[in-house]
Chains A and B, each alone.
Chain A
Amino acid sequence: MASDDAPKSASRDGDAPIARAVTINRPRAELYAYWRDFAKLATFMENVERIEVIDEKRSHWVVKAPAGSTVEWDAIVTEDDPGALIAWVSGDGADVPNSGRVEFRDAGQRGTVVTATIDYDPPAGIVGKVIAKLFQREPAIQARRDLRRFKQLMETGEIATGARNRREHEERDA
């Protein structure tokens, strides 16, 4: 048992779940609504190639993996509290078994605190984790950057790019 009040994800224990929080200057109902439409997640989740919504609870995820490959799974919504919480878990036969949850909490004049938690079994265990980190597809890095992009999209209506033109934009994305 931890002896302090800090979030578990900030623990020095290497097996702690990955969690990132970001404060977004928009009402939580709006943020929840955007996230709940899973097909839109690919707009700001860089390593998500596409998400197909199957029905109210199920969606099919196609995600970029190191060395140009992709991994796929069906995700099933396990908890859904409108305006406050969405949780999902991958179904049987997932290439990378994983689960995630995103919570939206009022932050007064600062807007909404969005906390995303991801738990996953990396392919080939710890070696897979190291390889993924090298290719910057490691979920901790991705989660941090994806949340920043989500914030940008919600606050400014666009995702910032330092590119000069389309050619440079594609180069930097590659």
Chain B
Amino acid sequence: MKAIAWHGKHDVRVDNVDDPEILNPRDAIIRVTSTAICGSDLHLYDGYIPTMKSGDILGHEFMGEVVETGAKSTLKKGQRVVVPFTISCGSCYHCGKHQYSACDNGLPADNQDIAQTLYGQPMSGLFGYSHMTGGYAGGQAEYVRVPFSDVGPIVVPDGVDDEKVLFLSDILPTGWMAAENAEIEPGDIVAVWGCGPVGLFAVQSAFLMGAERVIAIDHFPNRLALAKRFGAETINYEETAVYDALMQMTGGIGPDACIDSVGLEAHGFFGDNVIDQIKVSTFLGTDRAHANRQAILACRKGGRVSMPAVYGGFVDKWPLGAFMEKGLTLKTGQTHVQHYMPGLLAAIMEGKIDTTFLISHRMALEEGPQGYKMFHDDQDNVTKVVLKPGTA
């Protein structure tokens, strides 16, 4: 089969590889019909994520048709499913509490060592996201082996277009959980750093949860315009001093809840960011966290900070003092996708949430490498690339 494989920094290729097979009773094989490139795939593309190996198949936002099932899969051949990016067993203590991304058993035993060393405990597996997360082949391919297919993939009704439901795999639940973690109360003012897909879905979700105003922060005009479409007020940080603007816009109080959906590759020419970049390039620190620092400083006293953005390692000069003195609450985590899928599928079917606005580019799987380059080089106009296997 054909698949998009990582071969190094800024080097992804279309490889011909042997097909996946059923290995465990709960597995299923999915023929991929739509698969997206995620902003977090750019962290891999830029070489920020350790434990990648040449030839690793990328992709964790995908859906398709069930073509083969293991003895204990509950799926049926021919069903259309969206696959969560988190690989979770459904039977451990954490899955029982619906903390799917904290699953004890999604990672192969040998791959758990790195996460255990870095994070204290191993986390769930992830598709196509390095060997630290299990070394699972990803969904930017014609076929994928999907473990725990009896508890992960959600069956979508016939006749519903791929593009309406594809983002149930990651970014829609991630944006929703970001807003949920911000514990929004009616009348709140919510600030969202980063108007990528997660940030834009967080904007929509925050309004659905009762926020009175949402302020969206980015430097890409096109992305800010999308946020505005959903009712957000916008701040372009290249033109505006963000802290000063937020203070004025909130009458000197600060936003009640702040959502950092930027993460470890914050852009922008700020003092702390430059220091972070030097440290990253000299391996003294791994993560750039400008947006996160700004969120903590701007947040109102006793407010909430929600962090859906991906951080992988360590960060320096984090304003722990401001965080403590103001009595802030921080909630974060990889998304418990399986927990949110059914409710969000219903919201899509009822027309409460729109996801298709996001897709700016549709390409054949074989055009994946150009898709990566375009997304990387022009994040203003390229908001989402969806690859369609079998259309070349």
* Chain A positions near chain B (C-beta within 8 angstroms): 23, 25, 46, 110-111, 141, 144-146, 148-149, 151-152, 155-167, 169, 172
- In the complex, which residues of chain A have a beta carbon less than 8 angstroms from the beta carbon of B113? 141, 144-145
Distance from B91 Cβ to chain A, minimum over Cβ atoms (Å): 5
Docked-complex contact A161 and B26, CB < 8 angstroms: no
Tell me if B105 and A151 are in contact (CB < 8 A).
Answer: yes
Contact: B23 with A169, CB < 8 Å?
A: yes
What are the residues of chain A within 8 A of B148 when measuring CB–CB?
A: 156
Q: Which of B17, B90, B134 is close to A160, meaning CB atoms less than 8 Å apart?
A: B134
**Chain A min CB distance to B138 (Å):** 10
Q: Cβ of B106: which chain A residues have Cβ within 8 Å of it?
A: 160
- Contact yes or no, A162 B18, CB < 8 A: no
Q: Does B312 contact A (CB under 8 A)?
A: no
B109 and A148 within 8 A (CB): yes
A145 and chain B: residue at smallest CB distance: B109
Q: B145 to chain A: which residues have CB within 8 Å? A: 164-165
In the complex, are the beta carbons of A25 and B109 less than 8 A apart? Answer: no
Pairs A–B under 8 Å by Cβ, sample size 29: A23-B93, A46-B109, A144-B113, A145-B113, A149-B109, A151-B104, A151-B105, A152-B89, A152-B109, A155-B91, A155-B104, A156-B26, A156-B91, A156-B92, A156-B105, A156-B148, A157-B72, A159-B24, A160-B108, A161-B24, A162-B131, A162-B135, A164-B137, A164-B145, A165-B19, A165-B21, A165-B23, A166-B23, A172-B135
Q: A25-B93, A158-B25 are in contact. Are A165 and B109 (CB under 8 A)?
A: no
Contact A155 B109 (CB under 8 A): no
Task: Determine if A165 and B134 form an interchain contact, defined as CB atoms under 8 angstroms apart.
Answer: no
Instruction: List which B173-227 residues lie within 8 A (CB) of chain A.
Output: none
Please name all residues of chain A whose beta carbon is closer than 8 Å to the beta carbon of B21 when the two chains form the complex.
164-166
CA distance A172 to B147 in the complex (A): 17
Nearest to A146 among chain B residues (CB) is: B109
A103 to chain B, nearest CB (A): 19
Q: A25 vs B92: C-alpha distance in the bound complex, in angstroms? A: 6
Cα distance, A48 to B229, chains bound together (Å)? 61
Q: Are A152 and B105 in contact (CB under 8 A)?
A: yes
**Closest chain B CB from A23 CB (angstroms):** 7
| Min CB gap A135→B, angstroms | 13
Q: How many residues of B contact A (CB 8 A)?
A: 36
Report the minimal beta-carbon distance from B301 to chain A, rounded to whole angstroms. 37
B79 at the interface (CB under 8 A from A): no
**In chain B between 131 and 152, which residues have their CB closer than 8 angstroms to a CB of chain A?**
131, 134-137, 145, 147-148
Is B273 an interface residue, CB under 8 A from the partner? Answer: no
Residues of A contacting B93 with CB < 8 Å?
23, 25, 110-111
**Contacting residues, chain B, for A164 (C-beta < 8 A):** 17-18, 20-21, 57, 137, 145
* Residues of chain A contacted by B24 (CB below 8 angstroms): 158-161
Counting chain B CB atoms within 10 Å of each CB, the highest count among A46, A141, A156 belongs to A156
Interface centre among B20, B57, B105 (most CB of A within 10 A): B105
Name the residue of chain A whose CB is nearest to the CB of B94: A25
In the complex, chain B residues 329-354 whose Cβ is within 8 Å of any chain A Cβ: none
Closest residue of A by beta carbon distance from B131 = A162
- A145-B113, A155-B91, A160-B105 given. 9 additional CB < 8 A pairs? A144-B113, A145-B112, A151-B104, A152-B109, A155-B104, A156-B148, A160-B89, A161-B23, A164-B57
- Our pick among A141, A155, A162 for the contact of B125 (Cβ within 8 Å) is A162
The residue from A110, A151, A159, A162 contacting B134, defined by CB atoms under 8 A apart: A162
Query: Is the pair B96, A25 in contact by a Cβ cutoff of 8 Å?
Result: yes
Q: How many angstroms between the C-alpha atoms of A110 and B25 in the bound complex? A: 25
Chain B residues, CB < 8 A from A160: 24, 89, 105-109, 125, 134, 147
Residues of chain B lying within 8 A (CB to CB) of residue A148: 109, 112
Question: Which residues of chain B have C-beta atoms less than 8 A from A25's C-beta?
Answer: 91-93, 96
* CB-CB under 8 A for A167 and B89, given A25-B96, A148-B109: no
At the interface, yes or no: B355 with Cβ under 8 Å from chain A?
A: no
The CA of A148 and the CA of B134, in the complex, are separated in Å by 14
Residues of A within 8 A of B111 (CB): 162
- Point out the residues of chain A lying under 8 angstroms from B147, CB to CB: 160
Q: Which residues from B are CB-within-8-Å of A157? A: 25-26, 72
Residues of A with C-beta under 8 A to B108: 159-162
Whether the Cβ atoms of B18 and A167 lie closer than 8 Å is: yes
How far apart sit A148 and B112, CA to CA, in the bound complex (Å)? 9
